[in-house]
Amino acid sequence: MVNDSSRRALADFLRRRRESIDPESRGLPVGRRRTPGLRREEVAVLAGLSPSWYAYLEQGRDIQVSAQVADSLARVLGLDEEERRYLHLLAIGRTGHREQLPGERTRLVLQDLVDAVDPVPAYAADKRGDMFVWNSAACTWFTDFDALPPGRCNMLLWILSDPVARERFVDWEDEARDLIARFRATSAVGSDDPRIAELVGQILALGPPVRRWWESHEVRGQTAHIRRLRHPQLGVHDMHIVVSYLAGAEDLGIVMHVPVSDRSKTVLDLADGRYRSA
């Protein structure tokens, strides 16, 4: 069911994506424009919609949106697959899936799993970034999660707010923006989740530039990538991010940081030139 929070997020998302589009890329004259990007009526015409109906949508009004209309808007706005899914969630409603906290048995299995891969840094967290279990290597490379106060044992909040995180992540800004964009996608699924609302409030309270990143309304999904970590004694290490799921605890991601081998570095260098070893 679509609520007021979803409608407001949808309105903001549509406006920001509309303003980011070059009119010439849609075959429209640039001329003299008071605002960047496409006009509301241009989006409406390109999507085959009534301009007044689309204006209501951007105003966050309570109107019904079909899957076909959502897809038309995604096409006009040039959304990728993750952004298109996000638009559907905001405009049409939740999937009805309700996350459940793992029981003690599941928690023990997860703890055994992350302990078994030590010294590979590993932890299990939900889609909000709340941490459930971690191993000693994760505490070594990141922070002592056991010492964090209740409600703050959250990877998203730690990376965004702790000065230590800025030192540990070589590409801190890229990692922070990626986490915020992925949390944006999560917020659409859990738009009526009080924990989501609490985390959004905490993120906005961190001030610029974090607030600007949140308000840019970027949306991303989980992708495999290499995370570069810096430790004061252990130096800089490049690690593959591997995310897996345990049967019966699919709402939790088990995140492992697997060291990049010399062989992998060579293959990645040859493949596309985007990866560079430390």
Determine the Cα–Cα distance for residues 128 and 16; give it in Å rounded to an integer. Answer: 24
Residues 108 and 88 in one domain: no
Quick: pLDDT tens for 199-223.
999 999 999 999 999 999 999 988 8
At residue 273, the pLDDT reads 47
Give the domain CATH number at 127: 3.30.450.180
Residues 66 and 195 in one domain: no
User: How many Cβ atoms sit within 10 Å of the Cβ of residue 239?
Assistant: 18
At residue 101, the pLDDT reads 60
| Domain-located, residue 231 | yes
| Domain-located, residue 97 | no
Determine the Cα–Cα distance for residues 7 and 9; give it in Å rounded to an integer. Answer: 5
Contacts (Cβ under 8 Å, ≥6 apart) of 22 = 37
Token pair, residue 150, equals: 């209740």
Among residues 92, 113, 128, which one ends one of the domains? 92
Contacts (Cβ under 8 Å, ≥6 apart) of 235 = 278
Residues 85 and 39 in one domain: yes
At residue 272, the pLDDT reads 46
Residues 131 and 171 in one domain: yes
What's the count of helices (H) and strands (E) in the chain, helices before strands?
13, 5
At residue 37, the pLDDT reads 92
Better-scored residue on pLDDT, 250 or 77: 77
Q: Which residue(s) pair with 239 in the sheet?
A: 227, 259
| Domain-located, residue 235 | yes
Quick: pLDDT tens for 147-183.
998 889 999 999 999 999 999 999 999 999 999 999 9
Residues 18 and 139 in one domain: no
Residues in the chain: 278
At residue 233, the pLDDT reads 95
Contact present, 211 and 204 (Cβ < 8 Å): yes
At residue 261, the pLDDT reads 87
Residues 68 and 137 in one domain: no
| C-alpha torsion sign, points 76, 77, 81, 82 | negative
Q: Which domain holds residue 12?
A: 4-92
Q: Which of 22, 78, 25, 1 is nearest to 47 (CA)?
A: 78
Quick: pLDDT tens for 62-110.
999 998 999 999 999 999 988 998 999 999 985 434 455 667 888 899 9
| Domain-located, residue 54 | yes
The DSSP 8-state label assigned to residue 172 in this structure reads H
Confidence of residue 35 (pLDDT cuts 50, 70, 90): confident
Determine the Cα–Cα distance for residues 241 and 122; give it in Å rounded to an integer. Answer: 10
Better-scored residue on pLDDT, 8 or 29: 8
pLDDT at 260 over 60: yes
Confidence of residue 270 (pLDDT cuts 50, 70, 90): very low
Contacts (Cβ under 8 Å, ≥6 apart) of 233 = none
Residues 51 and 115 in one domain: no
At residue 132, the pLDDT reads 94
Q: What φ, ψ does residue 78 adopt, rounded to 5°?
A: 65, 40
Give the domain CATH number at 25: 1.10.260.40
Quick: pLDDT tens for 221-234.
888 889 999 999 99
Residues 60 and 112 in one domain: no
Residues 143 and 242 in one domain: yes
Contact present, 135 and 257 (Cβ < 8 Å): no
Among residues 92, 120, 136, which one ends one of the domains? 92
At residue 278, the pLDDT reads 33
pLDDT at 19 over 50: yes
Residues 150 and 253 in one domain: yes
- How many domains, in total, are found in the chain? 2
Token pair, residue 196, equals: 């989501």
Whole-structure pTM value: 0.80
Quick: pLDDT tens for 36-63.
899 999 999 999 999 999 999 999 999 9
At residue 94, the pLDDT reads 52
At residue 100, the pLDDT reads 54
Query: Three-state SS for 267?
Result: helix
Residues 116 and 248 in one domain: yes
Average pLDDT, the chain: 88
pLDDT at 192 over 50: yes
